[in-house]
Structure 1
Amino acid sequence: MEEDSSSKGISNIKVPPKYENLKLLSMWEEVRTLGKHPDRRSYHTAVMWQDKMLVYGGQDLSEGPYGDLWSVEIGQFGQESWQQVAIEDKGCISRHSAIVKNDKMYVFGGTNGVEEFNKTLVLSLNTMTWKEYPGQNNLPPPLDSHTSCLYDSDQGPLMIVFGGYSHGERTNQVYILQLDTMKWTKFETSSKQPEIRSSHSASIYNHCLFIFGGISDEGEKLNDFWKLDLKARVWTQIIGNGELPVGRSGHTSVVYKDFLIIFGGMKDITKETNDLHSYHFQSNSWTNFQYEYQVRDPVSPDQLEEYKKNKASLAAMKDKKFSTEPSPNRSPIRRPTFMDSSRGSPARRQTVEGDGTPQYRRRRTLYEGPMSPLEGRIKGKLPHPRDGHSAVINGDIMVVFGGDRHQMPFNDTYVYYLLEENIKSPARLDNS
């Protein structure tokens, strides 16, 4: 892979020399801000409210889950700053779901690393106060790694929940929360359902719920595409034209005009991607409009060498201390991985103390180098391949935050300018 020096502003990207549409890469911009940032995390939630992106919860595999809320203004890039929002502590949470309706954020399910939840939390965004609704007769059951979408139906606003883990087992059930009454019901359908899955994506378009990908019960990365007609209560598998995305999990999907946009995800263990695909609802056609690119790590060779030296020094000190301390029955603490269990919820099994409190190991990553002196927009800067990130739409831009690569979390922010002529044009090779 060679770096194409003819493309200005994207010198940080390794690209094949024959790509014709490198100009599309300039649609990406990294947003760098000064001041305090959210901790690095994945499997959080992000929602838009009044030109602000709100990020809640999430996890770092070595630090554990978080319970904080952060806000960043989206409409004034170049002058943004992150702000931590003061809220009542409702405990740490990740792999939950969230939607916004009017001035309230509705949060459902998730896990704190030990147990799954089926409570619903409602945050008033005007007063920043919580109201908690416990599960009603175990409906829905405790869930994590599911999806939730807002659907403005003829009967009022609904929260549509699909899939995820229920009591450690994947599911394909649909549950509906009536936001006006805060009553849950199980949504019964009269057709064949998608197979059970978790870490998929879900979006609403034209009274239908669209589901793509995820992880099957056998741990397979799925790339099937389904539509649930919310009025007729009928599932239909969609066989679209064009280049269907490969199987993946932990990706995101957003709706822009008449398009579904899919970004990133994990294709295999330690194999994340940063490609972009669109699905045009009207023509039933898929388009791969950005290939996968490998982006250089945000550390210099000198920083990498310093990191290795520090790591070796710390390891030597640890070994020396270990050898001098009499602890014959010491048992090692194992850090959880995304594939910790083929059936249990990924990345949720960590060492637990006698009182039931989850314990996490702290660790350094290569992404803890010095702060960049740059701020504002870095044009042509692509996100690293990742999964467990979030993506939201604000006008004609898609905003991507966080996620992780090889279990190394991010807290970076990117925007992608959505132009219809770009997202419906296939990525091509210049064969001349």
Structure 2
Amino acid sequence: MYSNRSQQQRRNDSINLGPVSPTESQVQEIQNKYIPLMTKAIQEQQDPKWQECKIQGKNLTPRSNCAITIHSNFLYLYGGYQYSQGILQDFYKLNMTAESFKWQNIKCEFEPGPRCCHSLSAYKNNLYLFGGQIADSICTNEIFVHDVNHQIWKKLEINDSYPQPLDNYCSTVYNDQLILFGGFYSADICKHSNDLYSYSFTLNHWIKLNKSKGRQPTPRDGSSIAIHNSNLYMFGGKNGDLRYNDLWSFDLSIQEWNLIHINNLYNIPMTRSGHSLIVYQNQLILFGGIHDITWELDDLYTFQINQQEWKLINQDTSRKKELELPSPTKSNQSPQKKRKSVQLPQIIRPLSLRKSPCSSPKKVRPSSQSQYSNHSKNQNLPQNQNQNQKNNNSSINNSFNYVQERKQQEKLKQKAAMLKLFEVEINKRASFQDDCNVTEKLKTSIILIGNPKQDLKLTKGTLTEFGQQIISKFLLPLQNGQNTINGKKPCARDGHSVVVLDNHMILFGGDRHTMAFNDLYLLNLLLI
């Protein structure tokens, strides 16, 4: 039968199977809902003092306990340790004033070989590499000199003034001398050190500075030193499992140690080793290190030399989640022996500890007893009591079914939210297509692993809601410079290497839980 409706009416009644774009009111509603949360998360993640350097081309192998130094605006790096590859022996340089950062591998006919926990120092047109670990539990006291202009390594002759083979010490350059403290002696001695040495670059001669037997730091390794005027400052370190947070000064003019008494005891940094300490103007700057097993730090402190007190700049955030209140756990103790619950203020109670407006139903084991046993017991009860028991059982069963329904609904909601991750508009599907099915699976895995709880996705200024309201830090935009990412700060680590260039501290590498890094950061010292 022929319809009298017009073609326009039939077209309006047709079903549109394509994706429906949200209306302007819906987009505005979503933006008003998420923009405040997103702005707050961006402010928490960004730190204007820090910048991450963008590396062009192939980056270095991740490593810790390498050595870096600055010569004519070039950053030089040698060796280090990587868990899967062991001790490394590669040699690189990076132009810090170039428009783009790119590592350049320096190849020489003769090289020092594998090194970690060593030092690399620049003096005039030479780089001096001393000591360090060359194999498992084996270290050396050799010195190699690299001519920057001719790119040649040569080994200096060891004389009687040289210290014993040493690694994991701390060092700095003072005038025409290399100053080093502490470390671990291997070979026949096999003990920690608290010796303080100075090495003359021109004379190839070592002098032990702490000859007096007065009060001095305990033997340790993994500490850090810095020199201000004619005073050397030393902080932290470890001896076995014992770590320190004491601060000492050594007067190079009278060659005497002094323990610094801190004026403000509330801001003293935690005990640590593998940290970094530098001098800028009239203050010491301390970053990172390891406080305990699997507890690396990302805090930042300054020590005001004139006021003799520590100042906290950035709090440690490596265990931020552990500071939150834990949810209550099940206990098998009897009610008589059960501990009294701590009454917390309503403001700081997590959702798991807040009182629910309605009491939760008691858990009942369904089919725990046979129908026959229930029937035999109910026969001996009075009629009214039997009827009350049936009503109670029916109410409990209804409550139990209600709980099961709610759980099922929650699962369906979670499943629906996960399925939304795979919804792509028709006009954008071509960008995701690939000839290889394995590539498609890898793309999906990377998205899910890199951002497992998507709740916010920014595409051409449109915010789309996924799942629960949890801001994902992987999707937060940062202000990118030409060769740096502004506002991005390093994560917790120890065994990193630092050096000062103009008004910036350069930080490279380190590790956390045996996972090494190859990232490069700049700390603007003017903003501290």
Residue 227 of structure 1: CA displacement? 0.7
Residue 185 of structure 1: CA displacement? 2.3
Distance 1:198 1:222 in 2: 10
Residue 293 of structure 1: CA displacement? 2.9
Residues 1:105 and 1:170: Cα distance change in structure 2 (over 3 Å): same
The gaps in structure 2 that reach 5 residues or longer are 1-35, 321-442, 451-479
Distance 1:29 1:47 in 2: 19
Distance 2:105 2:227 in 1: 30
* 1:316-362 Cα deviation digits (max 9, x unpaired): xxxxxxxxxxxxxxxxxxxxxxxxxxxxxxxxxxxxxxxxxxxxxxx
Distance 1:410 1:270 in 2: 16
Distance 2:262 2:40 in 1: 33
Question: What residue identity is the alignment partner of 1:166?
Answer: Y
Residues 1:132 and 1:7: Cα distance change in structure 2 (over 3 Å): farther
* 1:195-237 Cα deviation digits (max 9, x unpaired): 0000110111111211110112x42121011111111010001
Residues 1:7 and 1:72: Cα distance change in structure 2 (over 3 Å): farther
Which residue matches 1:418? 525
Matches within 5 A, 1:205-244: 205-216=228-239, 218-242=240-264, 243-244=267-268
Question: What residue identity is the alignment partner of 1:293?
Answer: T
Matches within 5 A, 1:23-422: 25-76=47-98, 79-87=100-108, 88-114=110-136, 115-137=138-160, 139-152=162-175, 157-167=176-186, 168-190=190-212, 191-216=214-239, 218-242=240-264, 243-294=267-318, 302-303=445-446, 376-419=483-526, 422=527
Distance 1:301 1:289 in 2: 40
* 1:219-262 Cα deviation digits (max 9, x unpaired): 21210111111110100011223312111111111111111111
Q: Is the 8 A contact 1:9 1:379 kept in 2?
A: no
Question: What residue identity is the alignment partner of 1:264?
Answer: G
Q: Is the 8 A contact 1:213 1:223 kept in 2?
A: yes
Q: Is the 8 A contact 1:139 1:186 kept in 2?
A: no
Residue 50 of structure 1: CA displacement? 1.0
TM-score, length-scaled by structure 2: 0.60
- Measured on the aligned residues, the alpha-carbon RMSD in Å equals 2.5
Q: Which runs of 4+ in 1 moved over 6 A?
A: 304-307
SS at the partner of 1:5?
helix
Structure with bigger gyration radius? 2
TM-score, length-scaled by structure 1: 0.72
Residues 1:385 and 1:275: Cα distance change in structure 2 (over 3 Å): same
Distance 1:220 1:203 in 2: 22
Residue 6 of structure 1: CA displacement? 3.0
Q: Is the 8 A contact 1:136 1:184 kept in 2?
A: no
SS at the partner of 2:132?
coil
* 1:81-120 Cα deviation digits (max 9, x unpaired): 1111223322100001122111111111101223110111
Question: What residue identity is the alignment partner of 1:158?
Answer: Q
**Count of matched residue pairs:** 334
Distance 2:132 2:310 in 1: 31
Distance 2:145 2:291 in 1: 34
Residue 136 of structure 1: CA displacement? 2.2
Higher strand share: 1
SS at the partner of 1:58?
strand
Distance 2:132 2:444 in 1: 39
Residue 44 of structure 1: CA displacement? 0.4
Distance 1:404 1:379 in 2: 22
Question: What residue identity is the alignment partner of 2:182?
Answer: G
Q: Percent identity?
A: 31
Distance 2:271 2:121 in 1: 26
* 1:385-427 Cα deviation digits (max 9, x unpaired): 00011111111111111000111000001111112xx42xxxx
Residue 174 of structure 1: CA displacement? 1.4
Residue 27 of structure 1: CA displacement? 1.5
Distance 1:207 1:197 in 2: 23
SS at the partner of 2:445?
helix
Q: Is the 8 A contact 2:284 2:302 kept in 1?
A: yes
Residue 75 of structure 1: CA displacement? 2.5
Q: For CA contacts below 8 A with separation 6 or more, give which structure has more relative contact order.
A: 1
